[in-house]
Amino acid sequence: MMTMVFDPASWLILLPLAWATLAFVLGAGRGARLALVGLGAQALLALELARRVRDQGAHAHALGGWPAPLGIELAVDGLAVVMLLMTALVALPLGLYARAYFGAKPKGGAWFWPLSGFLIAALNALFLSADLFNLYVTLELLGLAAVGLTAAAGDRMAVAAALRYLLATLLGSGAYLFGVALIYGTYGTVSLAALAPLISAEPAVLLALALMVIGMLLKTALFPLHFWLPPAHGGAVSPVSALLSALVIKASFYLLLRLWFGVFEPVATVGAAQLIGILGAGAILWGSLLALLQTRLKMLVAYSTVAQVGYLFLVFPLATGVSPEAGVSAWQGGIMQALAHALAKAAMFAAAGAMIVATGRDEIVGLSGVGARLPLTLFTFALAGVTLMGLPPSGGFSAKWLLLMAALDSGQWWWIVVMMLGGLLSAAYVFKVLRQAFLPAPGGSAVGRAPRALELTALALALGGILLGLFGAQPLALLEAGGGR
């Protein structure tokens, strides 16, 4: 019987749901321990699933043995498994970080574990979903959990940011749902596999695609739809900021990749791709510039996310309507950027959180003396910065290399200019922080210590971003084995 075979895919969804619910009952202390066990198991499950994909290629799995359209089908391919691995490997160190963080600053800790469990379950489910409607449901679950986490800080700014985030995310998924309705009305199915051969350029389909794309752009906070992101990511407590910036925005990006280069490939046009690319370029330049102008540390990091999201969207012009080689290079570059940013941004928010714990304030000018007192955390921030600047060896560099290759191969030199400028601007804002932290602490103000666990988990994430640059061939091979595109 199929159902008797152990299947890591369904457990990747059930496990976080289970520990999230239990953590809700158990409370913060025991809940955290349970969650960490769950996160560890999740990492093992994701690795096991990756091994299967590497050996057997992509496959589908009907939950409970019920086939579609009545049952829910899970699809595992290279892209999905790479994203699952990313989630598991970022969430585990962040879990350890959060436990130490809420040990030092208990505010919001009680809500963190159940909500982050639901968030991770929603993420995993989204990556494994094989139909448009399931994607909608997981997208909404993800949004609600993320909003709850944002509000967990409890102060006025956080609640306002959470509400703004909620309304934006609801609008985004509403647009997506309208698109789903149009697609179902046209073809009578929402299964990605069934839709693939059917899609043609009818008005209803084009409208659906436009609505879905806009919805996802809003949820991924692509310039100029990024208004909700900086207050939400900058205002949440640090472990939450890290989760949101590293993982949550990747979900809607992933969905867009799936749609654009999957079912909708026949109707996606070069012009629309260029338009998305222009927005991406705007995000890179505008986000970096605003990051440079911030006076609060976490707002700087949040605007850096706005900028880095821009690089993700360069995949669309670089892989639409180009030679197969350029297309593959761009596709790999985009995914590499998603992975690198996940690790680096989680590390950067974590490091920022440790600095804030130590200095007791969120202003950049307050960082003087951090270099002498928290050298490890500053080093972590710098390493994460190396990835964001796209300097070698790092995942960010590998991503930039692949995207540059695609741009040169397809003769789209203007994206090269944008990427180079973006790299220099990101260096400017990263070094703005480093420079301040290098300064000696002014007399009278004392920089405290941060718990060692905060420093080490942040460092592990940053090192992950560097290692990704040295061993980037492995995830790309996995992508390939699972029929990446």
Which of residues 94 and 223 has its CB atom nearest to another protein in the complex? Answer: 223
Which of residues 241 and 368 has its CB atom nearest to another protein in the complex? Answer: 368
Report in angstroms how near the CB of residue 153 gets to another protein at its nearest.
Answer: 12
Report in angstroms how near the CB of residue 19 gets to another protein at its nearest.
Answer: 20
Hey, what amino acid is at 227?
Answer: F
Report in angstroms how near the CB of residue 477 gets to another protein at its nearest.
Answer: 8
- Tokens for 10? 């369904």
Which of residues 39 and 319 has its CB atom nearest to another protein in the complex? Answer: 319
- Tokens for 381? 């921030």
Are 302 and 438 within 8 A, CB to CB? no
Report in angstroms how near the CB of residue 185 gets to another protein at its nearest.
Answer: 3
Which of residues 8 and 396 has its CB atom nearest to another protein in the complex? Answer: 396
Angle between helices 249-258 and 324-359 (to 10 degrees): 170
Which of residues 188 and 266 has its CB atom nearest to another protein in the complex? Answer: 188
Closest among 155, 202, 157 to 183, alpha carbons compared: 202
Which of residues 106 and 154 has its CB atom nearest to another protein in the complex? Answer: 154
Report in angstroms how near the CB of residue 174 gets to another protein at its nearest.
Answer: 5
How far is residue 252's CA from residue 181's CA, in Å, rounded to a whole number? Answer: 18
Q: Is residue 67 left, alpha or beta, with left meaning phi > 0 and alpha meaning psi from -120 to 50?
A: beta
Are 195 and 75 within 8 A, CB to CB? no
- Tokens for 249? 């925005």
Q: What is the CA radius of gyration of the chain?
A: 21
Report in angstroms how near the CB of residue 6 gets to another protein at its nearest.
Answer: 28
Which of residues 41 and 467 has its CB atom nearest to another protein in the complex? Answer: 467
Which of residues 90 and 147 has its CB atom nearest to another protein in the complex? Answer: 147
Which of residues 198 and 416 has its CB atom nearest to another protein in the complex? Answer: 416
How far is residue 202's CA from residue 401's CA, in Å, rounded to a whole number? Answer: 37
Report in angstroms how near the CB of residue 36 gets to another protein at its nearest.
Answer: 27
Report in angstroms how near the CB of residue 45 gets to another protein at its nearest.
Answer: 26
Which of residues 8 and 469 has its CB atom nearest to another protein in the complex? Answer: 469
Which of residues 271 and 471 has its CB atom nearest to another protein in the complex? Answer: 471
Are 378 and 370 within 8 A, CB to CB? yes
Report in angstroms how near the CB of residue 1 gets to another protein at its nearest.
Answer: 26
Are 112 and 39 within 8 A, CB to CB? no
Q: Is residue 188 left, alpha or beta, with left meaning phi > 0 and alpha meaning psi from -120 to 50?
A: left
Taking residue 324's Cβ as centre, other Cβ atoms within 10 Å add up to 10
How far is residue 350's CA from residue 338's CA, in Å, rounded to a whole number? Answer: 18
Report in angstroms how near the CB of residue 43 gets to another protein at its nearest.
Answer: 24
How far is residue 86's CA from residue 253's CA, in Å, rounded to a whole number? Answer: 14
Distances (CA, A) of 159 to 35, 141, 150, 170: 25, 19, 7, 16
> What H or E segment, with its residue span, contains residue 405?
helix 395-409
Where on the chain is the footprint of another protein (CB under 8 A)? 69, 133, 136-137, 140-141, 143-144, 147-148, 151, 155-157, 159-160, 162-164, 166-167, 170-171, 174-175, 177-178, 180-182, 184-186, 188, 190, 371-372, 375, 379, 382, 386, 389, 391-393, 398, 400-402, 404-405, 408-409, 416, 420, 423-424, 427, 431, 435, 438-440, 469-473, 476-477
Are 195 and 135 within 8 A, CB to CB? no
Distances (CA, A) of 342 to 21, 153, 157, 308, 443: 26, 22, 25, 10, 37
User: Which stretches does DSSP call E strand in 53-201?
Assistant: 59-62, 73-76
Are 451 and 380 within 8 A, CB to CB? no
Report in angstroms how near the CB of residue 236 gets to another protein at its nearest.
Answer: 14
